[in-house]
Amino acid sequence: MTRFEQLRLDGVSRSFAGQAALADLDLTIRRGEFIALLGPSGCGKSTALNCLAGLLPLTRGSIWQDDTRLDTLPPEKRGFGMVFQNYALFPHLTVRKNVAFGLQMRRVSRADIRRRVDEAIRLVHLEEHAGKLPGQLSGGQQQRVAIARAVVLEPSLVLMDEPLSNLDAKLRLEMRTEIRRLHQSLGLTTVYVTHDQEEALSLADRLVVLRAGRVQQVGTPEELHTSPANWHVADFMGYRNLLRLRAGATDGATLAVSGDGLELTGTPVGDVRPGAEVIAGVRPEDLVIGPDSGAGVRAVVEVVEYQGREVAVEAVTDSGLRLNLRGTVRPAPGDRITVTVDPARLLVFPADPPGAPEPAVEPDRADAPVATG
């Protein structure tokens, strides 16, 4: 395995027919890190991964492994392992032969191949299936073969592109744990592409959130969860209530925001000026349900969805805004409630400036604020 201290992406950009699919990606990946590239469909995640892998030439920028320039090398010279969504196994070869294939190409001795293949198959718990063909395995087992095939080569970096998206929900959770376990026990460095924020938050040491080909924020799961840099990241991080309001006066660390019959106090993030249009974001679990007679925003419950220990509630304010709430209080549809929020949990972001340059590539996810009145 080529040991490196860091892998550096320096202004990595890729366009298709003049349209930027990925623009100016700067990122330093440290050895042993698990990095998730996260963002909606079409934001440039796979483009970034394919640029790293060498499957796509860069339009601009460079990639460095310590002091060695990598982006001019073909994929096979980079020493990376890849795991794809569709497994990409050889259907006519057994599990064992699929895993051995890359080592045979590298002319590793037969004894070493046997030892390393046995070890890789054991790591992914496929000992009993080693003689089977891929078609005789479940989706999860096939993905384990793909992972074994990648790690058997002891790659300096493992690239994974939505490896779990073809699996059912239960298996996805199991494989998630498995991938994290392998990453840790083998001391891998992993770059993992996903559009599933929960998967990214649970797996990665650091996340890179992309939108329309541009990095929005790089941070630990905790940083992104509690301090999204802008409303687009907040939207992606589960701030399901995004309210288009107007900024009022500041008072210490807090800020008054109002509009659509709401008068709230929040915490500004970034450059928020009095009188400016803002987007106030709050997570469902940070909205507190109170009795009809209480203080706060008055609303009527519309939908109550049982979700195990908690319930998800949709309520509509008197001014017609739809709020998503979540908690252990279980109101009934039609109930009148009041809703309050801790100012520290209501993040107030600048709205996109009018005439802001359109993103190079629009994500296909509707990312307008959910409650604009």
Residues contributing to the site for ligand ATP (CB under 6 A): 16, 21, 39, 41-47, 195, 361
Token output for 88: 């990409």
Residues in contact with 133: Cβ distance below 8 Å, sequence separation at least 6, in sequence order = 91, 92, 93, 94, 95
Q: Which is nearer to ligand ATP, 19 or 319 (CB)?
A: 19
Report the nearest approach of ligand ATP to the CB of residue 41 (Å).
Answer: 3
Q: Which is nearer to ligand ATP, 40 or 266 (CB)?
A: 40
Q: Which is nearer to ligand ATP, 13 or 265 (CB)?
A: 13
Rounded (10°) angle between helices 139-151 and 169-185: 20
Separation CA 367–CA 228 (nearest Å): 15
Q: Which is nearer to ligand ATP, 116 or 232 (CB)?
A: 232
Closest CA to 6 of 68, 49, 82: 68
Report the nearest approach of ligand ATP to the CB of residue 354 (Å).
Answer: 25
Q: Which is nearer to ligand ATP, 160 or 269 (CB)?
A: 160
Q: Which is nearer to ligand ATP, 46 or 217 (CB)?
A: 46
Separation CA 268–CA 250 (nearest Å): 9
Report the nearest approach of ligand ATP to the CB of residue 43 (Å).
Answer: 4
> Using an 8 Å Cβ cutoff, are 62 and 13 in contact?
no
Report the nearest approach of ligand ATP to the CB of residue 49 (Å).
Answer: 8
Q: Which is nearer to ligand ATP, 183 or 195 (CB)?
A: 195
Token output for 154: 């002891």
Report the nearest approach of ligand ATP to the CB of residue 283 (Å).
Answer: 24
Q: Which is nearer to ligand ATP, 38 or 157 (CB)?
A: 38
Q: Three-class SS of residue 98?
A: helix
Report the nearest approach of ligand ATP to the CB of residue 47 (Å).
Answer: 3
What is the CA 61 to chain-centroid distance, rounded? 24
Radius of gyration of the chain (CA): 24
Q: Which is nearer to ligand ATP, 41 or 226 (CB)?
A: 41
Separation CA 108–CA 360 (nearest Å): 46
Work out the number of other CB atoms within 10 angstroms of the CB of residue 258: 14
Report the nearest approach of ligand ATP to the CB of residue 215 (Å).
Answer: 13
Q: Which is nearer to ligand ATP, 119 or 364 (CB)?
A: 364
Q: Three-class SS of residue 153?
A: coil
Work out the number of other CB atoms within 10 angstroms of the CB of residue 260: 17
> DSSP string covering 99-137, please?
HHHHHHHTT--HHHHHHHHHHHHHHTT-GGGTTS-GGGS
Separation CA 113–CA 69 (nearest Å): 30
318-342: string of b/e by CB count within 10 Å (b at 16+)? eeebbbbbbbeeebeeebebbbebe
Report the nearest approach of ligand ATP to the CB of residue 24 (Å).
Answer: 15
Report the nearest approach of ligand ATP to the CB of residue 25 (Å).
Answer: 11
Report the nearest approach of ligand ATP to the CB of residue 332 (Å).
Answer: 39
